[in-house]
Chain A
Amino acid sequence: MSEAQEYVPSVIKAEELNPKFKYEMSKKHGAEKIMLCFQCGTCTADCPISRFSDFYRPRKIARMMQLGLKDRLLSDEALWLCSSCFTCVDHCPQGVEIAGIVRVLRNLSVKENRIMPLVYRELASNLLKGGYVYEIVESRHKKRAELGLPPLPKPNLEEIAKIFEITGSSKMLENVKTFEKVKS
């Protein structure tokens, strides 16, 4: 679908713009080159998600970050449609890591207790409980033995919990609001 047909939110008001936002963001790993984006749109043109979604447009996300439209960016669930295929990163003529920018914004959304898809809470909770992001039930372990596969390596749950603590992840995951599905 062309950009002309995409969902257009209400008109941007001047007071929504935050010129400092791009400088804050450009200090984050992955978003360093946000100022170099000159809006050519290669990222959106080559994005496999944009091809099938009416809402996800990486070019627009980059522009909104430059303009400092933080609330709009972080409240838009479409931010969670990126599949991290990195086509945009490889194709950007300015070397802007678009997928990195999306990741920085997602991280910010979680850090500021805004929104996050429910599935991440489930994955994180499994990881804390068993070291794997999926629950490996007892019958799986037995099946491995039957198939002649070696026992699975054991997790060090104490260390994993500590990594969650020191990176501030435990608190973030407690307070962020979750939603289940993203409209495309």
Chain B
Amino acid sequence: MPKYLIFLGCVIPYRLSSYEISARKVLEKLDVELVEMPTFNCCGYPMDAINHELMLTLAARNLCVAEKENLNILALCNGCFCSLNETNKMLKEDKKLREEVNGHLKAIGMEFKGTIEVKHLAHVLAEDVGFDKIKDAVKKPLTNLSVAQHSGCHILRPAKYVGHGDDPENPTLLKNLIRLTGAQCLDYMDESACCGNPIIGVNEEVPFQMAKEKLDHIRAVKAQALITACPFCHMMFDMNQPRIERAFNEKFGIPVLHYPQLLGLAMGFSPDELGLGELRVKPTELLNQIQGGKS
């Protein structure tokens, strides 16, 4: 039975518990045991822009905590996966950098040894649980549904650190996971393009245009929902969708579901159990179709 330290990050407990709720539900059913971090600090990602060493040391502290527990980390957030996984790999490969960071960690009585691995939820589902087991767990296949995916940058790029074999130019990991639910996953233009969220704190115009263009492309292929695997991308497309609609005088009305919400529906959980009520763009039509359809 796979066992992981779950790394929630900051933004999920702050405003996206629907992602955490649905992830915990499906992972429990799929026999992945989750252990809580005994002590936590931000993964470091948001601090990289102001001080790289600070980011590395904050990330390394979390890695040291995981090493002490002798458990691999499961990250739900792409940003957390990015900083923890990259720091882990860089410190394992680069002796000089490791010595530098270990010099800092000494002050808090820790040392990075490089004994654990960091995975994103999508990797744990595809590699540890496996497609067969997920397929077996699908009790209500979503056969009438056509959706699109947005993997998010940091489980795709930079390819040399991400690992796990997905192609950043033509990502298939999340697509294949979506197809296991019985839903169709549609191709659309510029699928692996960024949502824009990381700079929303300094500029809204550019991210809004980036997300609007993606929503245009998703609407063009008539996807009934967008499926994400990152809380920041989710916020950009769901929470900000009404604002994007106002800014461009458009109506999209595309519901945005966290991947474990989609999988959870196919596994037979109720919308309430998966936190679907928390979504800004209400998936009413989608749920009517799932509940009233042939599934």
Contacts and interface: CB of A to CB of B under 8 A. Distances in A.
Interface of A: 29-30, 48-49, 51-53, 80-87, 89-90, 97, 99, 103-104, 106-107, 110-111, 116-117, 119-120, 123-124, 127, 131-136, 140, 143-144, 147, 149-150, 152-156, 159-160, 162-164, 166-169, 172-173, 180-184
Given A127-B47, A159-B61, 4 more contacts: A80-B49, A80-B199, A87-B194, A90-B168
For B15, B17, B51, B157, which residue has the most chain A Cβ atoms within 10 angstroms? Answer: B51
> Which interface residue of B46, B198, B206 has the most chain A CB atoms within 10 A?
B206
Nearest to A159: B108
B276 to A, nearest CB: 13
Nearest to A79: B49
3 A-B pairs with the lowest CB-CB distances in the bound complex, closest first: A119-B201, A85-B194, A86-B157
Contacts of A143: 17
B196 A83 contact: yes
B107 interface: yes
B279 to A, nearest CB: 15
A103 B48 contact: yes
Contacts of B158: 86, 89-90, 97, 99
Interface in B1-23: 8, 10-11, 13-15, 17, 20-21
B254 interface: no
B53 A167 contact: yes
B206 A49 contact: yes
A132 B13 contact: yes
A136 B202 contact: no
Contacts, number: 174
A153 B50 contact: no
B41 interface: yes
A155 B39 contact: yes
Given A120-B46, A169-B51, A48 B193 contact: yes
A140 B50 contact: no
Contacts of A52: 205-206, 209-210
B50 A131 contact: no
B107 A48 contact: no
Contacts of B20: 149
A132 B295 CA distance: 41
Contacts of A119: 201-202
Interface in B185-217: 193-194, 196-199, 201-203, 205-207, 209-210
B153 interface: yes
B37 interface: yes
Given A83-B194, A149-B24, A167-B53, A182 B202 contact: yes
B199 A82 contact: yes
Contacts of A124: 47, 50
A134 B57 CA distance: 19
Given A83-B194, A159-B61, A133 B153 contact: no
A181 B53 contact: no
Contacts of A159: 41, 61, 108
